[in-house]
């Protein structure tokens, strides 16, 4: 029986590169994959999964009205695996679609994403994935200020940490840093 996997980690934990590696491994074995990514993440172009190490590939953009279940079900040659990047940006209805892909189409689904936002709150997609995933796996990285495990995301505006504002603001290292709990609440004056 296929399962729904949620692999989460802080920023720079290698989530996207792991997704790209899994896709490559399936395809090298002659298997088909379908790769999805939320349209809201347009840093590298809508419908593109990209790693900070420079590797990327096209993906199917997920909009609020996207029905991933129907898209997968209606493939002439069904995929052997469905991969989703930036799972935190999914709606709960998208996660339900992913459960149907695993349960009714018997296709494994692997979703990569953040656990929490910069306010230290769960994203809607993350909350749904934590409730529905068969397997939940952490991808670890270290705090930018020390060698502890990064568990929080610190957001910066004009070089200063902020804890309020719009929950979703697409950005990279210029906006966000992965930090441990101590440095989330007490960031050093300079990096």
The catalytic position among 86, 137, 138, 190 is 86
- Angle 123-126-130 (CA atoms, 0-180°, nearest 5)? 140
Alpha carbons 47 and 168: distance in angstroms, whole number: 18
Annotated active-site residue 190? The verdict is no
What does each C-alpha distance from 76 to 32, 79, 105, 181 come to in angstroms?
12, 9, 13, 48
Burial, 27: exposed, middle or buried (Cβ in 10 Å; 0-12, 13-18, 19+)? middle
Alpha carbons 81 and 34: distance in angstroms, whole number: 7
**Residue positions annotated with a catalytic role:** 86
């Amino acid at each position: 029986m296929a399962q729904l996997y949620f692999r989460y980690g802080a920023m720079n934990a290698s989530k996207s590169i792991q997704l790209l590696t899994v896709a490559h491994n399936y395809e090298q074995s002659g298997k088909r994959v379908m790769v999805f990514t939320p349209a809201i993440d347009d840093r590298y172009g809508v419908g593109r999964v990209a790693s900070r190490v420079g590797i990327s590939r096209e993906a199917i953009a997920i909009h609020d009205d996207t029905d991933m279940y129907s898209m997968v079900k209606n493939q002439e040659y069904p995929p052997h695996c469905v991969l989703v990047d930036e799972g935190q940006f999914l709606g709960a209805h998208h996660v339900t679609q992913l459960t149907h892909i695993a349960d009714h189409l018997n296709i494994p689904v692997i979703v990569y994403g953040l656990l929490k936002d910069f306010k230290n709150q769960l994203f809607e997609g993350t909350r749904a994935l934590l409730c529905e995933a068969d397997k939940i796996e952490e991808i670890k990285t270290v705090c930018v200020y020390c060698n502890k495990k990064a568990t929080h995301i610190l957001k910066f505006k004009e070089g200063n940490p902020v804890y309020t504002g719009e929950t979703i603001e697409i950005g990279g290292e210029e906006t966000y840093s992965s930090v441990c709990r101590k440095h989330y609440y007490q960031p050093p004056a300079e990096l």
